[in-house]
Amino acid sequence: MANIFPRSANWLPLQLITCIALLGAVVPVGLWYYFTPKYTRVGYMPNQPVDFSHRIHVGQVGLDCRYCHSFVEKSSHSNVPTTQTCMNCHSQIQAGNPRLQPVRDSFETGTPIKWVKIHQAPDYVYFNHSVHIARGVSCVSCHGKVNEMPVVWHDKSQSMKWCLDCHRDPGANVRPVENVFNLDWAPQGTTQRELGDKLVKDWKITPPTSCQGCHR
């Protein structure tokens, strides 16, 4: 009786097993590489309930970060401004602007504005804003040039590797504490490396690099 299948068909099961094994290896590697904050977070720029521009409020008007994020020096988290904070200015400035109607409605009803959170550490990560600010880590290091953003986006990956890179080499980011909120600051007469390393040594900055430093 003649063979129904050609002799080459004998290799088909082995070829299928090999393809499945390769696929089983490639897919997890691809997911591991591309499903990281660098690819899934950076550039995230959600629509907000109010059209708010940091480029205008910070870059042009010159508002200090702490006017709106008033707890950032004292708390582990950076608070969003209350409606009252907005109305301190906008009860008179742009008071009739229709784009600010959600702010006026919030003020009249007492219902908070539902801002969409852009930067949020996972529940299993401990992060303290006040500690970083007290050691000269600027908003720019973690959030980018917010003062130039018409709409705030996720500028840095803020992944575990990204955090550890800074903890292992804090001199790359540390600046004088008085310039933490000066988003346009640059070292004068020296380099960031020279100044940062000096501040790390003078202030005895030793960020944790072990698991329990952030996973408590």
Whether 69 and 174 share a structural domain: yes
Closest CA to 119 of 179, 32, 59, 43: 43
The answer to whether the pTM exceeds 0.85 is no
Whether 138 and 162 share a structural domain: yes
Answer yes or no: is 154 within a domain: yes
Q: Give the pLDDT confidence score for residue 122 in this predicted structure.
A: 87
Q: Give the pLDDT confidence score for residue 9 in this predicted structure.
A: 65
Whether 60 and 21 share a structural domain: no
What's the CA angle centered on 87, arms 147 and 65, to 5 degrees?
Answer: 25
Q: Which domain holds residue 127?
A: 43-80+115-213
Distance from chain centroid for Cα 75: 17
Whether 167 and 197 share a structural domain: yes
Whether 33 and 49 share a structural domain: no
Whether 47 and 154 share a structural domain: yes
Whether 34 and 47 share a structural domain: no
CB of 185 within 8 A of CB of 195?
A: no
Q: How many domains does the chain have?
A: 2
Whether 34 and 73 share a structural domain: no
Answer yes or no: is 103 within a domain: no
Whether 23 and 51 share a structural domain: no
pLDDT tens digits in sequence order for the chain, 216 residues long: 556 666 666 677 777 787 787 777 666 655 555 556 666 789 999 999 999 999 999 999 999 999 999 999 999 989 999 999 999 999 999 999 999 999 999 999 999 999 999 998 888 999 999 999 999 999 999 999 999 999 999 999 999 999 999 999 999 999 999 999 999 999 999 999 999 999 999 999 999 999 999 998
